Structure formats: C-alpha cells, structure tokens
Chains A and B, each alone.
Chain A
Amino acid sequence: MTAPIGVKRASLRVRVRRSFATPLNGAITVAVAAIAAAIAVPLVRWAIIDATWSGSAADCRAAAAGACWAFIGRKLPFILFGLYPASEHWRPELATALLLGLVVFTAIPRAWTRWLPLAWLGGVAIALGLMHGVGGLEVVPTQSWGGLPITIMLTAIGLVLGFPLGVMLALARRSRFPIPRALATATVEVVRGVPLIAVLYVAVLVFPLALPSGIEVDKLVLAQAAVVLFAASYLAEAVRAGLQMVPRGRMEAALALGLGRWQAMRLVVLPEALRIVIPSFISIAVGFFQDTSLIVIIGLFDLLNTARLAAQDPAWLGFYTEAFVFVGLIYFCGSALISRYGLWLEWRMAAARRTVHEAR
C-alpha cells in the first residue's frame, strides 16, 4: 500500500526532519534504527556476505555461517518445474511464459475487448497442449507436472473462469426471481463459509464418487475446478457489493431510454459496478495467488511444495531456510506486482473521471 490517491508522499528531507521533530521522536527513531540494523545486518551477512554461491552440500556445511545458494542453484529445475522430465523443460518454460504473457496482456485496459476471452481460450489450450504433449511431443502425465506452471495455471485459470461465473452468481443473487436467488445464495455462502481445504477435499475425495463408474477425472482438473468455484464465490460477493453501490437511477435511466433489463444491466449497470470493485478484485487475486499453495495438502506439486520437497532431499538436509526464502521472494514479487498494478489502475480510473468532470 502506498499513500492514498491524490496524497503526495513527503520528500526525504521532510521525512528526516519529522523523524527528529522532538526529543522523544529522535529517541524513537534511534531505537527503530537499532532494531532495523539488528534485523538487517545479520540478514545481509547471511544472505550475501557469508553465503556460498556454488559447490556441493559439503562446501555449504564447511562455510556454515551463511546461506547456501548453491543448493538453490542445484535444485532450481526441480523447484521451478517439479518432476517434469529434464529434457523437456522447454515446454513448461514456454507454457509459463505464454500464461504470464496472457496475464500481462490482460492487465492492459486497451486489451479489454471481446477478443480477450478468445485469446485466453487459445493461449490456455496451447499451454496445456505443450505441458501434456500433443502433435508428436512426448506425453507427460499431470502427476509429473509441478512447480511454477502449476501455481500460475491454478491462479490464472481460476480467476479467469471464476470471473464470469462470479458475475453470473452475483446477478442471480440480485435477481427478482426467488429460485435463482436461493440457488446462488446457497452456493456462495456454503463455499465462502468453509476453508479452501474443505472445498479441495470435497473435490478430490467426494466428487469422484458422484461420477458414473468408469469416468476418472484427473486430480489436477478437480483441484482446478475447486479453485474456480472458490474464486467465483469470492468474486461474486465483490461484484454484488459493486452492484449495490450503483445508484438506482442508472438502471431507471437506461430503462427509460428503451433498453431491455438485460441490456441495461450489461451495458450500463454492470460496467460501472465492475469498475467500483477493482480494488477488491486485486486483493482477491493476490489472495488466490498465495492460496493455491494449499494444494500441497491434496498431494499436488505447486511451487511451495517443490521447494519443501527439495529441502527434504537427504543430500541437502538443513537448507530449508534457503528454499523458503527463495519461493517467498517469488511470491512476494508476484503479489507486490499485482497490488502495484491495482493501485495504478485505480489512479488511472480516478484520472479519467477527473477529466470527464473537467470537460463538463
């Protein structure tokens, strides 16, 4: 979080002056500096100065004091791509790049056209095809998928499919008709009322029982479906809040202009509601990026799980801190980027609104 929109951050000089405004403030500043130094100095020594950058586990143990980045270097392919065959690593690399490219493309407001869903459909199909192996590529079963592609796939597909589903649930929940309203309310409340782990367990342990005999659904697909449902429920509540904030007059004006109820909703009310809830979308996206790590519990290999397993390798026992710090950095950068993007988007919309007002 940075300063709220429209509030300029104080310059460095002002901030330094404020830090020593009164004797008490000066004392607090000195104490804080001492605490920060007590944290930062050993951290920098551990992570950089005393660290071992290459070599074997024995080299790391000989150096003892610092971080063993050699371990991350050796285990990087496993942490990033799990059990995926080493000779085929260009495929998850390409698939990850493709999905990330789609995410970046989606982040550009100018790309928000009706071609965007098609781009996703095509991109995801290619990415999955690459991962699984089509057209002469060696087939790699989903049990061997792992690492970064899984984390990004679960998050991106979860949100992209969850979004239209969430909008539908929100509209149904605000419908004039009692039956869709009851169905949507029940779905959203039940899914939001239980932990994600419970939804994952139901998807993996109970749902297969409810399928006809002979049909087996891949565990990864089930987990993805659970994430989509979970995302849809949370997005639905956000959208519903946005719909409630759109003044009634908008709908009435649209109806008075001769639009049908659906058209008024789609062309007037919904766009405004979605704009209002962008901040909640962003925090939901950050939450989901992090929460996909829970699939560890049903035995799938996302980024966090591969890091955990890498640290359990008997040859490299004891270097779990490095593994967790490394994936922690990846999560941190991803989450921080999404939050930053959200702030930029809010700033951009506020600027657009200001221009409109000034034009009037």
Chain B
Amino acid sequence: MHARRPWLPAAERRAFSERIPSRYRGAALQGLALGVTAAVLWWLARNTAASLDRHGASLGFGFLSQPANFEIGDTSWLRFSPENSVARAIAVGLLNTARVSALGCVLAIALGFVMGILRLSRNPALSGLVRAGVEVIRNTPLLLLLLFLSASLHALPAAAHALEPMPGFYLSNRGLVLPTIAFSALTLWLGALALALLVARRWLGRAGWTMVTAAAIATALSMLIDRPVLQAGHLTGFNITGGTTFSPEFAALLAALVLHQSAHISEVVRGAILAVPRGQRDAARALGLSRFQALRLVTIPIALRAMVPLLATNCVSLVKNSSLAVAIGFPDLVSILNTTGNQTGHNIETMLIMTVVYLSLSLAVAASLNRYNAVLLKPGAQVL
C-alpha cells in the first residue's frame, strides 16, 4: 500500500520542515502571502497611475457634478434632461434598478409560491404542467428570455392599433398601459399611517390593534369625502394617454426577471415544504383541519423558517440580474454607469460606485440573515 502511495507520511520528507517550529512556519507563510499580495497590488496601482498619466486623465469624483450630456429614456420619479449632472443621472439609474427590483421581488415571490405549491399538488396533470414550465425557464439563459421578450414587445403593433387584452390594458410597441386609481393625498397619508401602525403594532402594546383599526377606518372615511378616481388609458390620435405606462424595456425586463426568479423560488418553496416532517401535517389533519387549512396554518409557517434565507438570496440575485437591463437598453444603474464611464473616461470610478452599491446590498442582506438565524436559534423565538 505504501509503495503505491508515495505521498503517505515519509519521515525523511517531514524532517526538514519539522526543524522549524510550527509557530514561526505559520508566521512566515502569512508574511509571504501578505507580501506577495501587497507587491502585486502595488505593481497594479503603479501601472494604473502610469496609464492614467499617459491618457492625461486623473482619478477623482469631480466628474459627478458635470452635465451628463446624454438622454435617459426611462425616468420614474426624478426628472432628467441632458444638462443635469452626472450624479443625478446615476441617481435616476439607481432608482430604476430599485423600481424594477422591488416590483420584481414581490411578484417573483408571489408567483414562486403559487408555482411551488401547485407543483406539490396530488393531481399529476397540474403538477406536471407547472413542472414543465419551471424546467423550460430553469434550463434556458435569462438573457435569452429577456432578448426574446424585448424583441416581441418591440414587434407589437403601433399605439394606434394597440392590443387591448382587457378593458383599460393596452399593449403596443410603446409599452404597456395599465389603468391606475388616483387616491387623494389625505387617503394616501392615512393609508401610510395605518400600514406603519400595522408594522409597529407589537411595540404599541395592547392599544396596537385599536390604533390600526382606527387608522384603517379613517382611511376608508377619507375615500368617501374625496373619492378615488379610476384613470384608464384611452386612445387619442396616435398615442395612448392616461393610466400608467411601462416602457417596453421596463416591461420586458420585469417580466423576464419575474419569470426566471419565480421558477427558482418555486423550487425553494417546494423543497422547504417537502422538508417539513410529515408528522406535523398528519397531526394537523388528525386535529380536524382540512388539507388546505393544514397547509396554511401548519406546514407553510414551519416551512417559512427554512425558506426566508433562500428567498432573500433569491431577491439579491434578482437585483443583480436586473443589471442585464444594459442588454436591452433599459437605463438601470449599470447601464448609466457604463455610459458615463465611456463618455468621461472615468471607468475606474464608475466601476467603484457599481461595486460599492451592489456589495453593500449583498452584505446588508447577509448581515440581516445572520441576525435572523441567530434569532431563530433562540428557544421560543417568534418569527414573522
């Protein structure tokens, strides 16, 4: 055996290294690692400084206050025109990333839950159909789905001949128009208050639910005083006015992200539910709960504990995947930083901003997950 494996303990080979006490060996090894890393970094930095000199460029974030000189097609809450500063352009990009990611996460989790539970259906036809859909999406690249959806949306008829799948919903090559309900400012404020109280009810103690109910009733009353108005889009000339418009790029990106991530989330949901011990469900059924009640009141709450970290990481990957926007021309953070970098030559700085933004998001989520796990491990922990 030893003859066939010459790397097994060989006394003579160990003798040399054994002569140096292990304490110093460790220190020497670490010193070497540090030294090599520092040398490489120094070399790279020196070369970078030299190349910047050659191009007559310099590092610094002064370019952020210069005018951007480019148009942004898709702006949401911040207005933007080319004479606005670069910093404002980046803020618009960040908002666009946030908008598509927030909406995408909520929709992907909702759809993923539905698909994950349907896949566990005892009806083979139903679970088979969902499984086929999930497999198709999981086995093709997200970018392919995105490019296909984007091309399909751009190939839709012009606004004058927009498709109207449901009254008030318009699909055209200008994008998707949805009807909106306009609430009065008072209703919005009261609704926000009710929501805030709902979140904070545990800290409010016994009065919590009373206050939540009062705020909810006040919200409802405010709607009677100042009625919400339904604003549907309608065709005027060659364009559709009114309602909320999603650009084709935004709609394609959102749809692709939601479809892709919900397929992954459905696997998470399915796995977590399957991991709940059978006895829990059987006990719930024995207590007289229906199958649906047992799922809603027993299985899902238990499965949720295992699911939360994976749902969070899935949301982080959705945010990171939203950077594919650059492939279809949706002005997200990456796309705008790339444009700025190309125009001003400040690629190092823009990449630094990109890294900091995405990294702080990932690390923040990781930190809160660690806290969540710590809370979960405490006996008698109340989760969610």
Task: Give chain B's interface secondary structure class.
Answer: helix
A18, closest chain B residue (CB): B124
Range class of the A interface residue count: 35 or more
Range class of the B interface residue count: 35 or more
Interface string of B90-121 (1 = CB under 8 A from A): 00000000000000000000000000000001
Question: Which residues of B299-338 have CB atoms within 8 Å of chain A's CB atoms?
Answer: 320-321, 323-324, 326-327, 334, 338
A184, closest chain B residue (CB): B33
Which of these binds chain B: A52-60, A88-96, A205-213, A342-350? A205-213
Whether A180 is near chain B, meaning CB under 8 Å from some CB there, is yes
Establish whether residues B363 and A205, one from each chain, have CB atoms under 8 Å apart when the complex forms. no
Which of these binds chain B: A64-72, A130-138, A185-193, A240-248? A185-193
Contacts of B136 in A (CB 8 A): 332
**Which of B139, B334, B347, B354 neighbours the largest number of chain A CB atoms within 10 Å of its CB?**
B139
Kindly identify which residue among A192, A212, A296, A311 contacts B47, using a CB–CB cutoff of 8 Å. A212
Whether B343 is near chain A, meaning CB under 8 Å from some CB there, is no
Whether A19 is near chain B, meaning CB under 8 Å from some CB there, is yes
B9, closest chain A residue (CB): A258
* A293-B26 Cα distance, complex, nearest whole Å: 43
Q: Given A19-B125, A33-B125, A195-B321, check contact A297 B327 (CB 8 Å).
A: yes
Establish whether residues B50 and A213, one from each chain, have CB atoms under 8 Å apart when the complex forms. yes
Establish whether residues B140 and A19, one from each chain, have CB atoms under 8 Å apart when the complex forms. no
Whether A318 is near chain B, meaning CB under 8 Å from some CB there, is yes
* A336-B136 Cα distance, complex, nearest whole Å: 9
* A32-B128 Cα distance, complex, nearest whole Å: 9
Contacts of A36 in B (CB 8 A): 125, 129
B27, closest chain A residue (CB): A177
Q: Given A18-B122, A213-B54, A331-B141, check contact A321 B323 (CB 8 Å).
A: no
Establish whether residues A194 and B51, one from each chain, have CB atoms under 8 Å apart when the complex forms. no
Establish whether residues B9 and A263, one from each chain, have CB atoms under 8 Å apart when the complex forms. yes
CB proximity of B341 to chain A, nearest CB, Å = 7
Whether A47 is near chain B, meaning CB under 8 Å from some CB there, is no
Q: List 17 A-B contacts (CB under 8 A).
A: A178-B30, A190-B359, A193-B363, A197-B324, A198-B355, A201-B338, A201-B347, A210-B45, A211-B51, A213-B47, A263-B8, A267-B7, A286-B138, A290-B140, A296-B327, A304-B143, A331-B141
6 tightest A-B CB contacts, nearest first: A193-B362, A290-B141, A335-B139, A195-B320, A210-B44, A193-B359
Interface on B for A, CB 8 Å cutoff?
7-9, 14, 26, 29-30, 33-34, 37, 44-45, 47-48, 50-52, 54, 121-126, 128-129, 131, 135-136, 138-144, 147-148, 151-152, 155, 267, 320-321, 323-324, 326-327, 334, 338, 341, 347-348, 351, 354-355, 358-359, 361-363
